Amino acid sequence: MNEVIKTISEHASVRKFTDQPISEEQTRMIVECAQMASTSSHFQAYSIIEVRDTARREVLKECSGGQKWTVTAPLVLLFCADLHRGSRYFDNIDKDVFSNTEFYTVGVIDAALAAQNAFIAAESMGLGGVIVGGIRNDVQKLIDTFNLPELVAPLFALCLGYPDDKPGVKPRLPREAVHKIDSYTEHDDDELLRNYNDEVKEYYTQRTKGKCTDTWGEHCGQMMMAKTRDEVGYVLRKNGFLKK
C-alpha cells in the first residue's frame, strides 16, 4: 500500500461540496495530469472545457436530469471526444477515416483515460467529485451550447470540489468475476454474483436507512432501461461520427 493506491482504493463519488474554491493553479495541475494519460498513437483525441458560465452550467444540470452538482461544484470540466483537431492538423490523411467506429472509440478511450488521471490528481489534493454521464440525455443541446464543431462529441462532466460529506465506498464486483485468466470463463460467476447482490443490497439498505433495498442486478437493470438514450447515435452520426 502506498499513497497512490490508498487514494484509488478510497474513491467514492462526492456530490456535496464546501464553498472553498479551487485555485487556478490546482485546475492547471489537474488538467496537466489529465494530459499525461496514455493516448492511442499520441492522437490525444479529446478536449476538456472548463465550464465557468452559470447559464452553461444550468444547461448541464437540465441535460443531466437535474443533477445540481453540475452547478454547485467549484470546478466543472466537460470531457469531449475530439477528432476535429486531427482532421485539421494531421498530415497526409484521408479525412473519411475520422467517421469510422474505430476512431470514435479511440476518442472515447482517450477522454476516459484523461478524466481518470484528472480525478486521481484531484483526489490526491484532498478534493472529491463525481463523473456525470447523464448530460448525454441531450447531446444536441450540448453541441449547440458549447459550440462544438463537427467531430467533437460531449461525453461526460467531471464535477470537483472540497467534500462536504463522506460517502461510503460502494462495493465493487468480486475480483474473480472481473479478473479472468487466458479466456472468458463463467463457471463461478453465478455464486459470485449471488453473494455480490446480497452485499450490494446490504450496502443500499444501510446507506438509505431502508428506503432502497436493490440488489446490483436490480439497480443496474432499472438504470439501464430508464436511460437508453437511443438518440445519441443519431446525433453523433449527424456530427460526423460513426458513419462506417
Note the pLDDT tens digit of each residue in 123-147. 999 999 999 999 999 999 999 999 9
Global pTM reads 0.96
The total of other beta-carbon atoms located within 10 Å of residue 221's CB is: 12
pLDDT of residue 166: 87
52 with 72, same domain? yes
Report how far residue 168's alpha carbon sits from residue 229's, in angstroms, rounded to the nearest whole number: 29
User: Residue 10: helix, strand or coil by DSSP?
Assistant: coil
pLDDT of residue 131: 98
Give me the domain span that covers residue 180.
171-213
Say how many CA atoms lie within 13 Å of 174 toward its Cβ.
16
The total of other beta-carbon atoms located within 10 Å of residue 26's CB is: 18
pLDDT of residue 101: 97
69 with 112, same domain? yes
The whole-number mean pLDDT for each consecutive block of 10 residues of the chain, a chain of 244 residues, reads 95 97 98 98 98 98 98 98 98 95 98 98 98 98 98 98 93 97 96 97 94 97 94 97 93
Report how far residue 67's alpha carbon sits from residue 64's, in angstroms, rounded to the nearest whole number: 6
Map grid coordinates 483537431 to a residue: 85
8 with 123, same domain? yes
Report how far residue 78's alpha carbon sits from residue 61's, in angstroms, rounded to the nearest whole number: 12
pLDDT of residue 1: 86
109 with 78, same domain? yes
